[in-house]
């Protein structure tokens, strides 16, 4: 019997199953990406609350004591913290609106030491409330301050490494070191805490992972995972050196770049 050209051709059952499986995998990837961004947004919304509460409580107490200048300074720091997190969440909301999109890096030539110092200043009270002193170390003769980097992403990386040390290391001192060499520059966050066992080091960067070394509650297990994702977006790498009783050194290496364009 001849084939009727007007009759619609039925897809082959095997081909239909293959197409369905491919579509299912695509949907799974989109859902996984959306879950990642939701996790990022939840973490970034949660992080500033404690810092803001500290700044505002101190502003209130100093204002009640009649020290208007110090109260104004505390309010300034609270405003700076709020602005920073607002910028981060805005980027994350853009990612939520575009499933499958990568982190929209917008490199600018910025003064990296000044940005790090400003971030440390805004987190000073957070560290002090936990008995932790923070210092920034770099050699002005060898580390040229201006770097082409996304300031929001870089700030998130340093912020999460600092808060990780604050919350989980049982440290009394945290040092941020800036250095450059070859075709890359680096930022190290070093603490003098209890350190991390090798078995935990293998999983500490995974999503929702909280190493057994943590002494300050379970946390969300997202901070170091966020660091990894952002550093990868900047074509860099993050490594950890540690052993029990020796503290931790987290090192982020970022390639030197003159490209000032948005990277997607």
Tens digits of residue pLDDT in 152-195: 889 889 988 998 899 888 899 999 999 998 899 999 999 999 99
Please report, for the chain, the start and end positions of each structural domain, with discontinuous segments joined by +: 14-97, 105-263
Per-residue buried b or exposed e for 135-160, using 16+ beta carbons within 10 Å of the residue's own CB: eeebeeeebeeebbbbbbbbbbbbbb
Of 30 and 124, which is predicted with more confidence? Answer: 124
Q: How confident is the model at residue 218 (pLDDT cuts 50, 70, 90)?
A: very low
Pick the CATH number of 105-263 from 3.40.50.720, 3.40.50.450, 3.40.50.1820, 3.30.565.10: 3.30.565.10
pLDDT at 214 over 80: no
Query: Could you tell me the pLDDT band of residue 249, with boundaries at 50, 70 and 90?
Result: very high
Q: 18 phi and psi, to 5 degrees?
A: -65, -45
pLDDT (tens digit, 9 = 90+) per residue, 40-81? 666 566 656 666 777 677 778 888 888 888 888 778 777 777
**Closest among 177, 158, 77, 173 to 115, alpha carbons compared:** 158
Length of the chain: 264
Q: What is the mean pLDDT of the chain?
A: 78
Q: What is the pLDDT of residue 264?
A: 41
At residue 206, the pLDDT reads 82
């Amino acid at each position: 019997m001849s084939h009727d050209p007007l009759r619609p051709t039925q897809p082959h059952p095997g081909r239909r199953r293959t197409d369905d499986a491919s579509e299912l995998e695509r949907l799974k990837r989109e859902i996984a990406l959306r879950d990642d961004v939701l996790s990022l947004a939840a973490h970034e919304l949660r992080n500033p609350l404690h810092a803001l509460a500290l700044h505002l409580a101190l502003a209130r107490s100093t204002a009640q004591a009649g020290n208007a200048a110090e109260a104004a300074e505390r309010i300034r720091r609270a405003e700076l913290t709020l602005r920073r997190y607002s910028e981060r969440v805005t980027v994350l909301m853009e990612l939520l609106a575009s499933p499958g999109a990568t982190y929209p890096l917008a490199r600018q030539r910025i003064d990296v030491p000044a940005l790090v110092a400003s971030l440390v200043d805004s987190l000073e009270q957070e560290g002090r409330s936990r008995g932790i002193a923070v210092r920034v170390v770099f050699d002005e003769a060898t580390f040229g301050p201006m770097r082409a980097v996304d300031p929001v992403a870089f700030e998130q990386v340093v912020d999460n490494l600092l808060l990780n040390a604050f919350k989980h290391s049982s440290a009394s001192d945290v040092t941020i070191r800036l250095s450059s060499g070859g075709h890359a520059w680096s930022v190290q966050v070093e603490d003098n805490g209890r350190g991390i066992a090798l078995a935990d080091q293998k999983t500490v960067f995974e999503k929702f992972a909280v190493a057994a070394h943590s002494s300050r509650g379970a946390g969300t297990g997202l901070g170091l995972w966020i660091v990894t994702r952002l550093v990868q977006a900047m074509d860099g790498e993050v490594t950890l050196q540690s052993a029990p009783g020796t503290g931790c050194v987290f090192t982020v290496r970022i390639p030197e770049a003159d490209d000032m364009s948005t990277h997607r």
